[in-house]
Amino acid sequence: MKKLIAFDLDGTLAPSKSTLPGRMAELMNQLLKSHQVCIISGGKYELFQRQVLSQLSKNASLLTNLHLMPTSGTRYYSYDANASDWKLNYAEDFTAEDKQQIITALQEGLDESGYAVDKTYGETIEDRDSQITLSILGQEIVAELGEEGVRIKEAWDPDGSRKLKIRAIIAPKIPNFEVRAAGATSIDVTKPGVDKAYGMNKLMAATGLSMDEILFMGDKIMPGGNDYAVEQMGIESIPVRSWEDTSYAIEAIVKTA
Ligand SMILES: [Mg+2]
């Protein structure tokens, strides 16, 4: 019996950088009544607020069942019902020196790959303190262009091969860090050993749950993908292609709960 359902965010619960679709928000509110839920994503906490929390029930008894792991599990937030706010449990931040080395490698890697684009939207390299992310088309493409931005992102690297090529150029430049293909158009760098599996281990310690009580769903459960580590550590995992796939799986869980 699964007690906690964990999800990737972009491409799994919502289109890239977009808010939870109404249907998904409704299903998540239902799921939180019967299960603990964790969302673990490369995105930063502010994106969790914008994409997820803004769409969910404000009911404290539901929110206490929700665990948020932004920036690939390098940060962990849980809901403090007494304070009516989210509490940061830990953060694995880089030093200033680490950051400089990583930013240089990302910039060089993108240049050498030949995949740099002329028109970008917002920052292309974003320092999220515990994770540095290269967004090839820019962080703000969806905020600026809306659905058109989502379409451009999804069309840029539909089979993931460009991201894997860029990753293969960057990773040897910074062997002391983890480099992963992440969202539709991004590459994430974290401290070594800090990935979604690390986050899941922290989550199990915090909740007292065992591996077989957890089910995970993600759209990048493949070698080089940022969801792969969770399946590799032995957590039962369902690969999805889109939030619609995920919605059918949640519907089945909710109906049998
Ligand atoms: Mg994803």
Task: Please list the rounded mean pLDDT of every run of 10 residues in the chain (257 residues).
Answer: 95 93 98 98 90 96 96 91 94 94 98 95 93 94 94 94 96 95 89 89 95 97 90 98 97 93
CB-based contacts of 62, cutoff 8 Å, min separation 6: 29, 32, 33, 56
| pTM (2 d.p.) | 0.82
Pair (228, 185) in one structural domain: no
Residue 4 CA to ligand 1 center (angstroms) comes to 19
Pair (112, 65) in one structural domain: no
CATH number at residue 49: 3.40.50.1000
Pair (198, 74) in one structural domain: yes
pLDDT value at position 208? 96
Pair (101, 183) in one structural domain: yes
Domain's final residue, options 190, 211, 238? 190
pLDDT value at position 241? 96
Residue 225 CA to ligand 1 center (angstroms) comes to 9
pLDDT value at position 71? 86
Domain count, the chain: 2
Check residue 38 and report its DSSP letter: E
Pair (179, 105) in one structural domain: yes
pLDDT value at position 74? 86
Domain housing 110:
96-190
Pair (157, 200) in one structural domain: no
Residue 10 CA to ligand 1 center (angstroms) comes to 4
pLDDT value at position 73? 85
CATH number at residue 164: 3.30.1240.20
Pair (17, 76) in one structural domain: yes
Domain's final residue, options 190, 219, 238? 190
